[in-house]
Amino acid sequence: MTSAISWPELLAELCRIGMPPKIVMRAVNGRISVTSIRNYMRKGAEPSHVRGELILDLWCEKTGKRREDAPRRPLRRP
């Protein structure tokens, strides 16, 4: 089965360790707006590949986990 990153879960985990959207925005040097980060926290909105990589790298750095450990959800096929 194919899966994708669960951005709401990943960003919620960053919030739990003290990194709300505004801090995440600062940590990626303003490359992603607070509004965009909040949208990714809702189901349905997903970051572009480049923005997703920035968030995933930050998550790995701050949690000490590997990319493979990122929260996942089943990928819906059309």
Going from N- to C-terminal start, the domains of the chain cover 3-63
What's the gap between Cα 44 and its chain centre? Answer: 13
26-32: Cβ within 8 A, 24+ apart? 27/58, 28/54, 28/55, 28/58
* 7-18 residue pLDDT tens: 999 999 999 999
CA-derived radius of gyration, the chain: 12
Tokens for 70, please give them: 């990122």
User: What DSSP element (H or E) covers 73?
Assistant: strand 72-74
* 18-55 residue pLDDT tens: 999 999 999 999 999 999 999 999 977 999 999 999 99
pTM for the predicted model, two decimal places: 0.90
